[in-house]
A and B are shown apart, each in its own frame.
Chain A
Amino acid sequence: MPFIEARGLGKTYVRHAAPKTGGISRLWKRETQHIPALTDANFSIERGELVGLIGPNGAGKSTTVKLLTGILTPTEGTCTVNGRMPWEDRQAYVRHLGAVFGQRTQLWWDVPIRDSFLLLRDIYALDHAVWQRRLDELIAELDLADFLHTPLRQLSLGQRMRAELCGSLLHEPELLFLDEPTIGLDAVSKLKLRAFLKKENHAHGTTILLTTHDMEDMLALCSRVMVLGHGKLLYDGGLDALLQRYDTVHTLRVMFEKTPDLSAVPASVTRDGDAYILTYEPAKLATSVLLPQVLSAGRVREMTLKEQNVDELIARMYKEMAL
Chain B
Amino acid sequence: MMRYVVHSVKMLMKSAMQYRSSLLMQVIAQFVMTGGELMAVTVLLSRFRVIGHWGAAEIMFFFGVMQSTFALTELFGRGIAAFQGFIGRGEFDSVLLRPRPLLLQVMCSQLDPRRLGSFIVGLAAIWMAAVQLKIAWTAAKALLMAEVVVCSVMLLLGLFLIEATMCFFSVKSIEMVNVLTYGGRSTCQYPVDIFPTPLRLLFTYAAPVALCMHWPISWVLGQPMVVLAQGWYYVTPLAGLVFFALMAAIWYAGAKHYRSTGT
Contacts and interface: CB of A to CB of B under 8 A. Distances in A.
A147 interface: no
Contacts of B18: 110-111, 151
Interface string B56-97: 000000000000000000000000000000000111011011
A72 B97 contact: no
Given A111-B14, A151-B18, A106 B8 contact: no
Interface string B165-208: 00000000000000000000000000000000000000000000
Nearest to B255: A90
Contacts of B90: 104
B15 A91 contact: no
B3 interface: yes
Interface in A226-249: none
Contacts of A91: 99-101
A190 interface: no
Interface residues of A, number: 34
B18 to A, nearest CB: 5
A118 B7 contact: yes
Contacts of B8: 119, 122
Contact of A70 (B19, B96, B262): B96
Interface stretch (A92-100, A191-199, A276-284): A92-100
Contacts of A115: 11, 14
Contacts of A125: 4, 99
A90 B260 CA distance: 14
A69 B97 contact: yes
A125 B93 CA distance: 20
A92 B99 contact: yes
B259 interface: yes
A94 B96 contact: yes
Contacts of A92: 99
Nearest to A115: B11
A309 B18 CA distance: 48
A122 B15 CA distance: 18
A137 B26 CA distance: 42
Given A104-B90, A110-B15, A119-B7, A66 B262 contact: yes
A71 B15 contact: no
Nearest to A69: B97
B15 A90 contact: no
B169 to A, nearest CB: 9
B134 interface: no
A323 B90 CA distance: 27
Interface string B228-239: 000000000000
A250 B47 CA distance: 90
23 contacts: A13-B262, A69-B96, A71-B96, A71-B97, A71-B259, A72-B259, A72-B260, A72-B262, A75-B260, A87-B259, A90-B99, A91-B101, A94-B97, A104-B94, A106-B94, A108-B11, A111-B15, A115-B11, A119-B8, A122-B8, A123-B99, A125-B99, A151-B18
Q: Which 9 A-B pairs have the closest CB atoms?
A: A110-B15, A122-B4, A91-B99, A95-B99, A110-B18, A122-B7, A73-B260, A71-B96, A72-B262
Interface of A: 11, 13-14, 63, 66, 69-73, 75, 87, 90-92, 94-95, 97, 99, 101, 104, 106, 108-111, 115, 118-119, 122-125, 151
Given A71-B93, A122-B4, 8 more contacts: A69-B97, A70-B259, A73-B260, A90-B99, A106-B97, A108-B11, A115-B11, A123-B4
